[in-house]
Chain A
């Protein structure tokens, strides 16, 4: 009987002749799905017909016609030019979106820095330091962010003096309850050269970096890349500065009337939001960092030490690369949370996307559905892009197993 039946390819999907279709899982599955689809469609249909009917009844016109209508209201912090006279609701949207992105990106940097510092402090062998870090984490993450924002906003405001009693250094930087005023650079003729210098500097640093790596590969010598890069950058910039004839002047803030005029103003709402978001999120990041560092087994450090690697290099080449794999995914989700939480700006008067678009624009135009949908889509898009990037990263760094 030992004739070996040959290996065959599977036959095409076998229809089931004998089974009653009622009990066929494939049929049942299809039925479930059709039912679900019907339910979803029904809900969507109901909701949309209701919405249309209601809007007709209430005389609400839908559509995006308002996008190009003049806005008529002002926004204090704006990264692109905007004025109540000439700008449209659409431009208000961009102002809000950019403000969201501004505070989110600043928050991401700050939260990551604080989070790593606190997380590493929590692992410190110094008991006082690790205890303080633990207190930080427990305190800030167990209090609602909204409450923290109120406290920061009011604390920031109350602690600072009125404009006339501004704290100032060299009559160029002022700090008061209207915010922080610093000289604003005004780029005159020839500033382009500075840009060129910066680009050149970066190129030079890149070239040097590559050379340093090669040289180490070749001769084993190690180079102080950080210091050299800094020097290179400073040198190029100085060169460009003088070559272009000092093109940049500064608009120095000045106390005039009852307020500070000129300069670059950093609003207290921004500061409060930034602080609140970063400090709150950092308390979560700290835990993630701690867990990540602990996930690298003690054996890795010991192995590195016993090979003669110094603690600094061990951290850089052995521990951190491994910890990062564990840290990065939850870290991104926290940073995403930070971005989403920046919508709490609405509580303290920072003109972010939600405050401007889902607040003022929605109220002035009455176009609730359009405004809500656009705002949500923006956040959704941010989330999806982030998770996409995350998946790619994960695939790239996944530890290869067999």
Chain B
């Protein structure tokens, strides 16, 4: 201490307020951010450089391929072979454009496309209704989406001559339509079925529990592709006599069973989160088991597991691509088949087709996952508010 003994008291009293000051330069602002986050140590600098290098290696070629050098119009492969100027060609969007109808509708008859479009529109409406948090009457929305819409979709897509809609056999369906049909059928069946299984797994009746657990663990233990192959080859054997399920129906059954098992586990998570007091409250009011389940437990449990359901759906949506392996013309397969079209055989055709598929799946899945994260955040804050309020 340089200054010595002015007052001999241990006491100190601040007389002048030290006002807040701006931080010294280089401790805040964008430069500080840079220093702090990118350049704080030699290792960090190296990482930054490596990261930038990776960006440099990946991004410009991707942009060049997808946009700058891409061919947007053309009638056949000549458009996408090495360009007139002798430059290498990027993505052949002309190919995608010319096959787009096939990718979306498959071989669905031309005059009947409005039916598919109507189904798309109804589906979109239902999704918005259910997922948009401020939409009114969610209960009606659910009835519409899980009850009316599937029936309407089947009638529209498959046809019903009695009301003037000619049959369109499922072998003509294809592309995005089939992808959506498979994914949607999976979710529509798996939700109620998964709920039942989850309830069964928590039942106090040992046999019910055993059956549920066996069912769930069986489907969760085997790969989807084996389920699909099984549905394809064995389902007809298990049905009586000449009953031969439609080709598209078989994977649907497989997917639905498979998805139910996963859904059951998701729902079970929600059921477990319901405090015991809810059951007791309901019991003390005289509600019976099914009333309690339907009116008190499930509404809460399902709300909690919406993110989980969405995640299951994302997985299901991606997994629909596997039906292409058993010969169903989903988006994946229409693309695969189109790649073999000699009229469009160029070095970039495959890459373009895959890029298109990747973009399609990515946009759908990423969108859904963002939604589920947002939902999760909302749920988390919702719970917190409730707790502090108490």
Closest CB-CB distance, B359 to chain A, in whole Å?
A: 9
In the A-B complex, list the 4 residue pairs whose CB atoms are closest, starting with the nearest: A383-B221, A128-B51, A142-B365, A340-B223
What is the bound-complex CA distance between A54 and B241, given in angstroms?
Answer: 6
The A interface, classified by DSSP as helix, strand, loop or mixed, is helix
Take A33-B205, A126-B47, A369-B234 as given contacts and tell me if A150 and B223 are in contact as well, using a CB distance cutoff of 8 Å. no
A residues near B54, Cβ cutoff 8 Å: 132
In contact, A379 and B52 (Cβ under 8 angstroms)? no
A125→B44 contact, CB < 8 A: yes
A124 CA to B47 CA, complexed, in Å? 10
CB-CB contacts below 8 Å: B45-96 with A: 47-48, 50-52, 54-55
Q: Is A354 in the interface zone, CB < 8 Å from B?
A: yes
Could you tell me if B237 and A369 are in contact, using CB atoms closer than 8 angstroms? yes
Q: Which of B19-61 contact A (CB under 8 A)?
A: 36-38, 40, 44, 47-48, 50-52, 54-55
Please tell me the size bucket of the interface on B: 35 or more
For this complex, 11 residue pairs linking A to B, each with C-beta atoms less than 8 Å apart, are A29-B204, A37-B207, A54-B236, A129-B50, A131-B51, A144-B319, A146-B321, A147-B332, A341-B223, A372-B226, A375-B226
- Interface 9-residue window, one of B98-106, B115-123, B350-358, B376-384: B350-358
By the criterion CB–CB under 8 Å, are B226 and A154 in contact?
no
Q: Interface of A with B (CB < 8 Å)?
A: 29, 32-33, 36-37, 40, 46-47, 50-51, 53-55, 124-129, 131-132, 138-139, 141-147, 150-151, 154, 340-341, 343-344, 346-347, 354, 358, 362, 368-369, 372, 375-376, 379-380, 382-384
Q: Assess whether B208 is interfacial by the CB under 8 Å rule.
A: yes
Q: Which residues of B contact A384 (CB under 8 A)?
A: 217, 221
**B208: chain A residues within 8 A (beta carbon):** 32-33, 36
Cross-chain contact of B350 among A125, A143, A154, A346 (Cβ < 8 A): A154
Contacts A47-B238, A347-B325, A380-B218 known; A128 to B204 CB distance under 8 Å? no
Query: 1/0 per residue B223-242: CB within 8 Å of A?
Result: 11110011001101111110
Q: Residue on A with the closest CB to B354?
A: A151
In the complex, whether B369 has a CB less than 8 A from a CB of chain A is yes
Which residues of A have CB within 8 Å of B321? 144, 146-147
Least CB distance, B8 to chain A, in whole angstroms: 35
Please tell me if the beta carbons of A379 and B318 are within 8 angstroms of each other in the complex.
Answer: no
Question: Which residues of chain B are near A141, meaning CB under 8 Å?
Answer: 365
Cross-chain contact of A32 among B37, B205, B236 (Cβ < 8 A): B205
* Cross-chain contact B211 with A40 (CB below 8 angstroms): yes
CB of A52, distance to nearest CB on chain B (Å)? 9
- The CA-CA distance from A369 to B314 in the complex, in Å, is 31
Inter-chain contact A143/B365, CB cutoff 8 Å: yes
Q: B: which residues have CB within 8 A of A?
A: 36-38, 40, 44, 47-48, 50-52, 54-55, 204-208, 211, 217-218, 220-226, 229-230, 233-234, 236-241, 314, 318-319, 321-322, 324-325, 332, 336, 350, 354, 357-358, 361-362, 365-366, 369
The answer to whether B233 and A368 touch across the interface, beta carbons within 8 angstroms, is yes
Interface majority SS (helix, strand, loop, mixed), chain B: helix
Chain B nearest Cβ from A62, distance in angstroms: 10
Contact of B234 (CB < 8 Å), options: A124, A131, A372: A372
Residue from A368, A376, A380 within 8 A of B237 (CB atoms):
A368
- Complex: how many Å from CA A141 to CA B350? 21
Interchain nearest-CB distance for B28 vs A (Å): 16
Contacts of B220 in A (CB 8 A): 383
B residues near A46, Cβ cutoff 8 Å? 238, 240
- B238 lies within 8 A of A50 (CB): yes
Check A150–B362 contact: CB distance below 8 A.
no
Say which residue of B48, B222, B319 sits within 8 Å of A380 (CB atoms).
Answer: B222
The reply to whether B47 and A143 contact each other, CB–CB distance below 8 Å, is no
Q: Are A368's CB and B318's CB within 8 A?
A: no
Given known A51-B237, A125-B37, A126-B47, contact A36–B226 (CB-CB < 8 A): no
Known: A33-B207, A54-B237, A126-B47. 6 other contacts (CB 8 A): A46-B240, A127-B37, A128-B55, A138-B366, A151-B358, A372-B233
Closest-CB distance, A334 to chain B (whole angstroms): 12
Is B44 a contact of A126 with CB atoms below 8 Å? yes
Inter-chain CA distance A53–B242, complex, in Å, is: 11
Choose one: B226, B240, B350, B362; the contact of A358 (CB below 8 Å). Answer: B226
**Residues of A contacting B55 in the complex (Cβ-Cβ under 8 angstroms):** 128, 132
Closest to A49 in B: B240
A384 to B319: give the CA distance in the assembly, Å. Answer: 23
